[in-house]
Structure 1
Amino acid sequence: MSGFNLSEWAIRNRSITLFIMIVALFAGIASFYQLGRAEDPPFTFRTMVVRAVWPGATLDETIRQVTERLERTLQEVPNLDDLRSFTRAGDTTIFVNLKGSTAGNEVPDAWYQVRKRVADMRHTLPQGIVGPFFNDEFGDTFGIIYAFTADGFTHRELRDQVEDIRSQLLQVQDVSRIDILGAQDEVKDIDFSVERLAGLGFDPSALIGALQAQNIVIPAGVLRTGEETIALRVSGAFASEQDIAAVTFAIGDRMLRLSDIAVVRRGFTDPPQPMFRVNGQPAIGLAIAMREGGDTLALGRNVGQAIKKIAADLPVGIEARLVADQPLTVDLAINEFTTSLWQAIAIVLVVSFVALGVRAGTVVAITIPLTLAVVFPIMDLANIDLQRISLGALIIALALMVDDAMTTIDAMSRRLAAGDDKVSAGIYAYRHLAFAMLTGTLVTIAGFVPVGFAQSSAGEYTFSIFAVVGIALLASWFVAMVFAPLIGMALLQPPKADQVDKPSRVTELYRSFLTLAMRARWFTIAVTVGAFIASLVALGQVPRQFFPASDRPELLIDLRLPQNASIHATEQLVNRFEQFLRDDPDLASGIERWSTYIGQGAIRFYLPLDVQLANPFFAQAVIVSKDIVARERLRPRLERLLAEEFPQVVGNVAPLELGPPVGWPVQYRVLGPNPTRLREIALQLGEIVASHPRTLRVNFDWMEPERELRIRIDQEKARLLGLSSQAVATALGGNISGRNITQVRDDIYLINVIAREAGGQTLSIETLRTLPVSMPDGRTIPLAQFATFEYGQAYPLVWRRDRLPTLTVKAGLAPGMLPESVVSDLTEAIAGLNAKLPAGYRIEVGGSVEESAESQASVFAVVPLMILIMLTLLIFQLKSFQLLAIVLSLVPLGLIGVVAALLASGKPLGFVAILGILALVGMIAKNAVILIDQIEAERAAGKAVWDAVVEASISRFRPIMLTALSTVLGMIPIAPTVFWGSMAYAIMGGLLVASLLTLVFLPTLYVTWFKGVPPAVAVAGEHG
């Protein structure tokens, strides 16, 4: 590189360079401790939940009048990917999912558009609609959860304490939100007898009106007297159930208290709200979310200290128990990865010392902390925390970082051996290799471009691979050009005058092998091409996977009863299940703790959690095992327990997921206009899925209709009695479920007052016929006098996708089986069923296979950009289409090593492994560019093609193999890890084989292309 020489400037301005080096070291140390710590990288949830309630509507009415209207409007939202709705009678929940390509800063505007468009059309919804409500905080992660249990205290007393604790914790630094789990709302029940009131000649509606009138809050005016203004307050508002019971009524000539004609009592909502338990005990939980940009470890310390102070003041009998501890998980994960990083650094240092010697190895060793010192402040400025992805990226980048330093020091050592002074040797690498090294660095970074610019959830999740590797490689080039020459001048010494620089035995063996391969050029090329074709064939034998399961100790246990089951039935189911967890010593020995969510799924305590909707028939337990070994031992035991003891339950036992959440491993969607026809198709599809020998627990997200009792009103009789269908429905609802008539304002709570017929909740279908209905004149009449009863069936709920009813067939898998393999096996049978479906019906693949395909598509969509960048860099460096063709012919050959490594290790070809393979392209191209650049330099010096190729290959043999060995051995610490293992093996195998081919196949191809001939042949030709 002619012109300004950066290395020469650094050497000439030694004091400035040393100052920059020292500042960089201190800045790096400070930034390392300042960087945020997290378990996973930040992730934008592109989902908003829209919910609306229409009390009293049937399922069909709710779909047609609410869900359909809302979905038509929501389809107009910009960047919409799909709509998924979950509709029950009188209740609809719609998930608005944006495209993965939607930028994070565009998401808030999309949610504004949702609110605006729904607000504009709200007047078209039926009367009586409650909502719609919007939740765009669906992705908030509550990494810290405390459960509070009470012995000797009422639920209200416990809740009072928990509410107070919540108020205190909201003051803790970095706390953004705290949700309460398992708290039950109080009610004041007024149980009265319609028949008794009728006997007294008193209309229940008059009773309700009197209570409402007394408890109302309205302004009474302001009294102004001279200089003073006095607000007027009217008493009478209810403060307790005693106040309600004391209300008097005039009935005829008598004055009666409410307690004389009704029972007033304190209770809780029935059916209850979702419940929360810890280790089998009822509890109230506090789920704590961190503010954006906060430090998880700092939050854990702050909350822990606050809870310690609070717990000291709690009444005896109330205990605080830690249920979810993300800061501890993050601390352990970061310590583990930091240990892996230091191990990788140690491995690279050993390789450097052994291969380069003590002095040269020391120079390379010093450049590692210097490079990291440059990397950490830039990460801090870019808001990249230390988390699973960034730490793994640092380990990946580590071996690549020393490549430039090794090249610089190797060149410097060679020039010293050739007789150059230290200054000339120090500036040689920049003058002759800097541009090629920079091009190679940029080409390597370009290999990570698909990771950085993939417009998908998985791409966003893994973005910091691209960012950290790019920062690290550019920093390593800078350190190699600025700091390494100066350090080399201080440590490297020219060889002694009597010391002969003999080639090593390994170098001589390589020279002999290279010469043999180049002489048998066509055989070498044929073997290489044959190996590449074999790897393409063997690639089909490598198992596929999206993301592996997490290595955290938690297990999620889903418990789902038939969809018409009550929450009370679900609670009884959980009681039985927890009894086994307590009493079975085989289970209890491996469990640290567990928590159970009844009537809903677990709150998002882990970023990639597949959060379940609240449903009375569903419960989810989170079991924290003592370690991973215990988790894997518990899992089959729990699966047997569910199969043997709970056959009526659709159960699933699964570890936490990594990457975007997908739920059940195998999923197929059936879409079509008619739910009944959809059910028939889904049953056929379920049989096909169940026929696979490795699928388990085939189930459906909705399927069986539930019973309903239809009350047919004889309208003529009802009109003669002065009754309407609305009056009858109101009477039935009030008598059976109760009617909310007013509220008691008690401290921070608003407590509903519910009036109902005494014993209304315990009515059976048989006694419903005799239910007394009040007439306008105050008398009552049995319901059967003007109504008939008939049984029917209706679906309890319907899922829809993009306004079409959608039924999802789900299945678990036998241990060791991957979803992609099952889907591949079933492709032909399902395609046959799909072909026979009526018009308007179709079957789609869902779950991890669909998400994997979408994520891979988003990555491969950026591959053309990666190729364009690489080609541009290469053509500017090589300035020859022939040389470019030689480099490109080498690039795909890394697949030979990739396939061999994955098959040998048994690792699947997952999303992260694919990213590693794409990154290999840049690594391979970099070595090829520097080697060809050296060959061209040798030819420019006057050497023949053959000699130039041999000499250049010999000179690049040590740096290329050192880089390969450093990378391969440096990957060892992360090779056993769950997340990075497949990528590590792919890079290890691919780079090792590609490096060997760079040193053998590329020289052979070069001499073949440019018709290089061995020296003996050339001499013979000259004398001929």
Structure 2
Amino acid sequence: MKSIIGFSIGNKLAIWIVTCFIIVFGIYVGFSMKLETIPNINEPVVNITTVYPGASPEAILSDVTEPIEKKVSNLEGVKNITSTSFEGASTIEIQYDFKTDMEKAENKIKEMVSGLHFPEGVMNPDVARANFNDLPVMVLSLTDNTKKIEDLSVLAQKEIMPAFEEVEGVSKVEIIGKKNKEVEIKYKQDKLDQYALSAKDVTAYLKTIKTDMNLGMQVLDGKEKIIKVNGNEDSFEKIKELPIPINLKVQNNNPNGRETSVALKEVADVNIVQKSQSVSRANGIEGIGIQILQSSNGNTVNVVDGIKDKMKKLQQKHNSLEFVSILDSGEPIKESVGVMINKTLMGAAFAVLIILLFLRDIKSTIIAVISIPVSLVISLIMLKQLNMTLNLMTLGAMTVAIGRVIDDSIVVIENIYRRMTLTEEKLSGVNLIKAATSEMFSSIMSSTIVTIAVFLPLGLIDGPVGELFMPFGVTIVFALLASLVVSITVVPMMAHLMLKRKVEVTKKTSSSRVTNSYHAILNWSLNHKLITFCLASALFIGSIFLIPSIGVSFIGSSGNKMILATYNPVPGATDNTIKNDVKNAEEYLLKRDHIKMIQSSYGEGNPLHPANKKQVLFFITYKDGLKDLTKEKDIIFNDLQKLGMGEWGFNSSGNSNGNVDVFVYGKTIEEIRPVADSVKKSLENNQEVTNVKLDLSDSLRQVNFILNTEKMVSLGIQPIQIYNKLGSAKEEQIGELKVDGQKIPIRTVERDSIVQQSELSKQQVTTISNQKVELGEILSEAEADTPAFITKRNGDVYTKISAEITDKDVGKVTENIQKKIDELSVPSGVQVNVGGVTEQIDESFAQIGIAIGIAIVIVYFVLVVTFGGGLAPLAILFSLPYALIGSLLGLLITNESISVSVMIGALMLIGIVVTNAVVLIDRAIKNEQKGILLRESILEAGVTRLRPILMTAIATVGALSPLLFTENSDSSGLISKGLGVTVIGGLTSSTLLTLIIVPIVYESLMKLKYKWTKSRKKKHEFKIGA
């Protein structure tokens, strides 16, 4: 060790060059790192979406969902399979453990699903992993007062979308509300009947002649040439005149006997129409919406900035073009990261000021604090190598690490400085610095290893909590390792360069008075161990009783002022009904104060549920004046529900303590509906929750037709004829046409949609004798209810009742809800489970609790190895329980609940608190090794180590103090005020009691050891004498 220290002192210039290079390079790396609010966490989920146009929920369940579920249910690593079967589509969510290789899991599912055979009309299932970037990073509203929406749609698709797609990191650009031209071929049923044609046969024929066909290479005139049949017509008029063979089935049905074809325009209305597959509205005005999605390796801030640059260039080219930002994910990231950087710098400044006040020497302070920038930039360089990002977790870790990375340097420079002031010190210069640094190496190394070891169990925490806090732990580990290296290289080198050979001894100061007072208190405590220990234990036990008053939550809430609302219309709602519902909701919302912007969209392009084209998505942004978003949501939810429309749901990025979810399982919907209604009513009567939502919707009305098979056989009518008449009007794209330089689709429509139920039975079919018969003559009609959608989980039908918890004590609220549910009468075969945020709390707290237990065992093991015995480490561990006193009291005073962040703070405390005790006991042991008596060894160690212990503790408190003023919006609830309160409060109480309790326990254990050793020695001597 002395050789390393000597090398550093003897090569000052080289160490300076390396240090400066590291700082400059680290700053460069920091500016080049990707910015995020939180680490990118992808849920271990694979989604399977299958579209079956026109199919009922029950048909979707039996023909699509259940075959897929059966196929994938036995896959290895699957935790849960959740499915929803609704009109026209099936969605299946397959959840795995977090440590599963999701690429292999996705490929396996694709392989298994590809082997399934579905009924005709079912589209190929879309298999994709859930992605953190499935939601847009930017949502825009596009307007132009000089253009019609049709022309604006063309501009958006031909110019704006390609420009945005050029931005690095953009994976997809969705244009919502665009209106496109298309050729619509709508068949005339009477004309088709006249020529004995069917819509299906004509469409099939059109598809064959409208398709380009490559026939391969052939040798013609001695040269190889490609043979291709081009089926696409080059003009709209030619399409209308396309000849359709009329002898496809019954040649004799030709009206005039000689013609073998008829023009398409005779059997269909052929027009160029404007159609939209989605609707977008901004502040009540219909227009164009643009959603920008980011790729998995994209940088949100760079993507948003790139889009903004493209917007400026487009506006310069088109003066009347206007973009309105509805959602901008880049600005909150910049603000949050900026705030956290400021808090880190403030924490560093506080720590420096505190050290200066203690050392009262600018040069010593500069030497001590050099570890802060060097350690932090080294951690930045290492994070970059691991492809990690600069986010609230890594920045928060740096803020927390400031107080700890300076510890090693403080201990070393304080010992050097102290020995320079001793009149009896024989060494000087290089030898003194080497000896002083080497003297402290074992204690700083063991304390650093102990702190690092505390974060090793973070790797055992599964799920999103483990994924979130892993970068936090990794950052601190890198910073601590760097600080250890700095303390034995840079610090001694700078001490030799900047400090005098001998420091003059100053007269008695206030610090010496504090030292004398502490000496007297410690001596009294050692003489009155029982009283002192009982008082400290009483404080510890009393703090435990504070827990029920503090409460429990999951992760602190965020303060971003945005609501993402979803609206599901009543089952069977038409497009006009949805449009009116949206207008009514917008009119209400626009009257609310503080609302900045509202964008609604439905149809294609829904990032939450792509298959659910009737779900309306609302982005609601607020001005800065709004203080309580939770209260605002409650008011909006209650008022919108009173409008008597469908079901509303809210996902806000603002203040929220979490949701409680109650799951009701059974075999049928009819079986679980009464129980679900009772649970919903119970939650609605609970004042501690709001925004109660039942996922079990109203039923759809189903019209059942019963076939009279005997009459059908006698008339020669085939079932397919009836199916074609009763089925919804099918649309199908058959090709493309180039109009004005733009390709537009050609789409066939079987017929006009039937809007009156009474018209169904009046539809006519042709008998074998070419007679027309109304369906009412061969069918009987009846109505019944059918589910609007069917949800299943692991084979059981289920529904979910969710509510938002308004009280900060989530655990208590959930416990009260469970009691009310237990009082309900639940029939046999029906099961009710409470989940949601409480389930996450139980799982996460259990894992963190295990991690804390493992951390304590690891710490004890490291200390045993360091001290070569088990008694001294046991005395050191007695510093841990007393950290709870300050932590719990601080949480109570600041009105913070026990959250995941608080638990991580408690894990950190293990390493921080033990450090102070290690420094104290290490000195006492070395004193004993010099032959000093036990009591004198302890008293001298306490007095000598008092200043470095207080310095490091107060410096850590100062570094963390900016977190006490952290608002929710600054931290996304992760690196929260609660974490700061936990560490500061725990460190304060533990430091004060460590200086008293640890020496008491250590002396007691050592005396027991001496007595036991003496007793064994006497027994041994007695046996020899005998």
TM-score between the two structures when normalised by the length of structure 2: 0.89
Q: For 2:703 and 2:505, locate their aligned partners in 1 and report how far apart those are by CA, in whole Å.
A: 106
CA apart distance, 1:326: 2.2
- 2:329 is aligned with what amino acid? Q
What letter matches 1:625 in structure 2?
Answer: Y
Q: Determine the structure 1 residue equivalent to 2:617.
A: 620
Measure how far apart 1:389 and its partner are: 0.8
Q: Which residue does the alignment assign to 2:804?
A: 812
Change (3 A) 1:599 1:293: closer
Residue type of the partner of 1:843?
V
Corresponding residue of 1:675: 669
SS of the aligned residue for 1:504 comes to helix
Who is 2:526 aligned against?
Answer: 518
Q: CA deviation at 1:484?
A: 1.0
The equivalent residue for 2:704 is: 710
Q: Which residue of 2 aligns with 1:904?
A: 893
Does the alignment pair 1:345 with 2:348? Answer: yes
Distance (whole Å) between structure 2 residues aligned to residue 903 and residue 190 of structure 1: 71
* 1:52-102 deviations in Å (ceiling 9; x for gaps): 234555433432343222112212333222111111245211111111233
Equivalent residue for 2:241?
Answer: 246
The answer to whether the Cα contact below 8 Å between 1:344 and 1:395 also exists between their aligned partners in 2 is yes
Q: Is the partner of 1:622 in helix, strand or coil? A: strand
Aligned partner of 1:666 among 636, 660, 666? 660
Find the aligned partners of 1:811 and 1:110 in 2 and give their Cα distance.
33
DSSP 3-state at the match of 1:1010: helix
> CA separation in 2, counterparts of 1:439 and 1:13?
27
Q: How much has 1:952 moved relative to structure 2?
A: 0.8
In structure 2, the residue matched to 1:474 is 481
Residue 787 of structure 1 corresponds to 779
Counterparts of 1:638 and 1:149, CA distance in 2? 31
Deviation at 1:543, TM superposition (A): 1.6
- Report matched runs for 1:944-955 at 5 Å: 944-955=933-944
Alignment of 1:996-1015 (within 5 A): 996-1011=992-1007
CA distance in structure 1 between the partners assigned to 2:54 and 2:267 by the alignment:
29
What amino acid sits opposite 1:830 in the alignment? I
1:859-902 deviation digits (Å, cap 9, x = unpaired): 34444542342222111112222222212222122111111011
- Secondary structure at the aligned position of 2:881 is classed as helix
Is contact 1:548–1:657 with CA below 8 Å preserved after alignment?
A: no
Q: Residue 798 of structure 1: SS of its match in structure 2?
A: strand
TM-aligned CA deviation for residue 162 of structure 1: 2.2
Cα offsets for 1:218-268 (capped at 9, x unmatched)? 347777543555556656634565443333557523786444454323446
Match of 1:178 in 2: 173
- Which of 549, 555, 559 matches 1:547? 555
Q: Deviation of residue 298 (structure 1)?
A: 3.2
Match of 1:304 among 292, 308, 315: 308
Distance 1:204 1:16, change over 3 A: closer
Query: 1:968, CA displacement in angstroms?
Result: 1.8
SS, match of residue 550 in structure 2: coil
CA distance in structure 1 between the partners assigned to 2:839 and 2:235 by the alignment: 56
The equivalences for 1:29-428 within 5 A come to 29-55=27-53, 57-102=55-100, 106-119=101-114, 121-123=115-117, 125-136=118-129, 138-141=131-134, 142-151=136-145, 153=147, 155-164=149-158, 165-183=160-178, 187-195=182-190, 197-198=192-193, 207-208=202-203, 211-219=206-214, 224-229=219-224, 231=226, 237-238=232-233, 242-248=237-243, 252-253=255-256, 257-267=263-273, 273-314=277-318, 318-357=321-360, 358-418=362-422, 419=425, 420-428=427-435
What is the identity percentage for the equivalent residue pairs of Structure 1 and Structure 2? Answer: 19
**Which residue number corresponds to residue 700 of structure 1?**
694
With over 3 angstroms needed to count, the CA separation of the structure-2 counterparts of 1:829 and 1:882, relative to structure 1, is same
CA separation in 1, counterparts of 2:657 and 2:899?
A: 17
Change (3 A) 1:478 1:985: same
Unaligned runs of 5+ in 2: 247-253, 1010-1026
* Counterpart amino acid of residue 174 in structure 1: G
Q: Encode CA deviations 1:699-753: one digit per residue, 9 max, x unaligned.
A: 21124322111122212222333323232112222xx423437333447756252
Which whole-Å CA distance do the structure 1 matches of 2:792 and 2:28 have between them?
Answer: 52
**Partner AA of 1:62 in structure 2:** I
Distance 1:562 1:428, change over 3 A: farther
Q: Give the corresponding residue for 2:250.
A: none
Residue aligning to 2:492: 485
Q: Which residue of 2 aligns with 1:1022?
A: none
1:465 shift after superposition = 0.8
Letter in 1 for 2:373: P
1:726 equivalenced with 2:716 (yes/no): no
Q: Could you tell me how far 1:160 is from its partner in structure 2?
A: 2.9
**1:417 alignment partner AA:** T
Q: 1:174 to 1:810 in 2, by over 3 A?
A: closer
CA contact (8 A) 1:82 1:96 kept: yes
The counterpart of 1:430, out of the listed 416, 437, 441, is 437
Q: Which runs of 5+ in 1 are unaligned?
A: 604-610, 1014-1024
SS of the residue 2:213 aligns to = coil
1:830 and 1:634 mapped to 2: Cα distance? 26
Separation in structure 1 between the aligned mates of residue 7 and residue 824 of structure 2, nearest angstrom = 72
Q: 1:711 to 1:391 in 2, by over 3 A?
A: same
Q: Is the 8 A contact 1:417 1:495 kept in 2?
A: yes
Distance in structure 2 (CA, Å) of the matches to 1:850 and 1:232: 65
Preserved contact between residue 601 and residue 614 of structure 1 (Cα < 8 Å): no
Distance 2:961 2:191 in 1: 82
- Confirm or deny: 8 A CA contact 2:53 2:88 kept in the other structure: yes
From 737, 744, 747, the equivalent of 2:736 is: 744
Match of 2:755 in 1: 763
For 1:534, the aligned partner's letter is G
Report the count of equivalent residues: 982
Cα distance in structure 2, aligned partners of 1:200 and 1:280: 48
Whole-Å separation in 2 of the counterparts to 1:861 and 1:631: 36
Q: Secondary structure at the match of 1:411?
A: helix
1:838 aligns with 2:828: yes
Residues 411-440 of structure 1, C-alpha deviations (whole Å, 9 max, x = no match): 111110123413233223432221221111
CA distance in 2, matches of 1:983, 1:133: 42
Aligned to 1:25: 23
Residue 583 of structure 2 aligns with an amino acid whose one-letter code is N
> Which shifted more, 842-851 or 304-313?
304-313
Q: Per-residue CA shift, 1:314-337, capped at 9, x if unaligned? A: 4x6543333332222222222111
CA contact (8 A) 2:174 2:605 kept: no
Cα deviation, residue 558, structure 1:
3.1
Task: Identify the residue that residue 929 of structure 1 maps to in structure 2.
Answer: 918
1:902-921: CA deviation from partner (whole Å, max 9, x where unpaired): 11101111111111111111
Partner of 2:950: 961
SS in 1 for 2:82: strand
Question: What CA distance in whole angstroms lies between the structure 1 residues aligned with 2:796 and 2:74?
Answer: 16
Q: Measured at CA, do residues 990 and 481 of structure 1 come closer, stay the same or move farther in structure 2, by a change above 3 Å? A: same
- The aligned amino acid for 1:680 is P
Q: Deviations over 1:467-489 (max 9, x none)?
A: 11111111111111111111122
Residue 601 of structure 1 contacts residue 618 of structure 1 at CA under 8 Å; is this kept in 2?
no
Answer yes or no: is the 8 Å Cα contact 1:353–1:361 preserved in 2: yes
**AA of the residue aligned to 2:407:** D
Aligned to 2:979: 983
3-state SS, counterpart of residue 761 of structure 1: coil
Q: Secondary structure at the match of 2:563?
A: strand
- One-letter identity of the residue aligned with 1:615: N
TM-score (norm 1): 0.89
Moved more, 866-875 or 137-146: 137-146
Aligned to 1:447, the other structure's residue is in SS state: helix
Q: Tell me if structure 1 keeps the 8 A contact 2:556–2:657.
A: no
- Residues 179 and 288 of structure 1 are in contact (CA less than 8 Å); yes or no, is this contact kept in structure 2? yes
